[in-house]
Structure 1
Amino acid sequence: MVEERGVAVAVEPGAIWVETRRQSSCGQCSARAVCGQELLNKLGRTENCNLVRALNSYPVQVGDSVTIAVPEQVIVKGAMLVYLMPLLLMMAALVICEWMQLSEVGVIVGAFTGLLVGFAGVALRSRALQQRGEAQPRVVGLLPRES
């Protein structure tokens, strides 16, 4: 499970909204003195918060610190879906257009069409996963309140 800590900012039936803070790994990196990434982080947005909706079965109240998690396989499947599906469909369309002996412009248009179909497939699949709640983060722990 990939876990992240955050603070509950809103509660709704069966779910909560959690504010998490983006962490920079620059503080632990030995090359931070010669790398421009830390400077870019300082110059960039000062607002480094994310708002995430997480499924919940704990008695959470606004202001509680929680741990949310997503299974690793969901992240791997998501990455495969987003990166591979459009490319594979583009390559398949390219091969089909070449096999049909289309002109060079026809092959380019066919490959581009395959890429667009791949993007549409990613959007449909991610919408279906979201409706089923498979890729939805879940609250896995309620941290004790600070006094």
Structure 2
Amino acid sequence: MIEQQGCVIGVDGGTARIRVGPASGCPACDSGQGCGAGVFGRLLRRRPVELRLENGAGVEAGDAVFVGLPERLFLSLVARLYLLPLLAGLAGAALGHYLGTVADFSGARLDLAALAGGVTGVAVALGLTGRSNPARLRGAVTLLRRVEQHSGGACQPGEPRPGRY
């Protein structure tokens, strides 16, 4: 289970509204010495996401909580959103290069044919990925548990409280 910490911002009947904030990378990435995820995180500046989840843990507004996503679903999404477009772009570039060679292109024209094939492959893959069924994602994220409050105090209902897993 992939876990992310969030903050309960409200409880309505049997559901809890949870705000999950942007996650930072590991300390090495954040300092610019790791794999680079921290650099991309700073560039993209994700906004917090609000989730409505079943309140099976009996949480209240202001509680820090963990929400989870199954690894299998996470890996499936990564493959569809990253691996498929990457492979389609490479295949499209190879096809564009091949067709450019058949058409007797050389130099910059051959490179442009490969580029056009790669861009077309990525566009087709992203178009197919965007038509997936969002209903299968409903219920995938679950409220796991309340966070043990070692440092005292609950999180603020407006913002997720940073913490360690």
Matched-pair contact (CA < 8 Å) for 1:20–1:50 = yes
SS at match of 2:62: coil
Q: How far apart, CA to CA, are the structure 2 residues paired with 1:57 and 1:36?
A: 38
Counterpart amino acid of 2:124? V
Counterpart amino acid of 1:10? G
Matched-pair contact (CA < 8 Å) for 1:20–1:52 = yes
Q: Which residue of 1 aligns with 2:128?
A: 121
Matches within 5 A, 1:1-147: 1-11=1-11, 15-20=15-20, 22=23, 25-26=26-27, 35=31, 50-58=48-56, 59-100=58-99, 101-102=102-103, 103=105, 104=110, 105-125=112-132, 128=133, 130-133=134-137, 136-142=140-146
Q: How far apart, CA to CA, are the structure 2 residues paired with 1:48 and 1:109?
A: 31
User: Residues 96-120 of structure 1: CA distance to partner in whole angstroms, max 9, x if unpaired?
Assistant: 3444424424343222111111222
- Percent identical residues: 19
Counterpart amino acid of 1:56? E
Matched-pair contact (CA < 8 Å) for 1:54–1:68 = no
Aligned length: 132
Counterpart amino acid of 1:51? V
TM-score, normalised with respect to structure 2: 0.56
Counterpart amino acid of 2:116? V
Shift of 1:69: 0.7
- Describe the shift of the 1:14–1:133 C-alpha distance in structure 2 as closer, same or farther (beyond 3 A): farther
User: Residues 75-127 of structure 1: CA distance to partner in whole angstroms, max 9, x if unpaired?
Assistant: 222222222111211222233344442442434322211111122223333xx
Matched-pair contact (CA < 8 Å) for 1:69–1:139 = yes
Q: How far apart, CA to CA, are the structure 1 residues paired with 2:88 and 2:139?
A: 23
Counterpart amino acid of 1:114? G
Q: How far apart, CA to CA, are the structure 2 residues paired with 1:87 and 1:2?
A: 24
The CA RMSD measured in Å over matched residues stands at 3.9
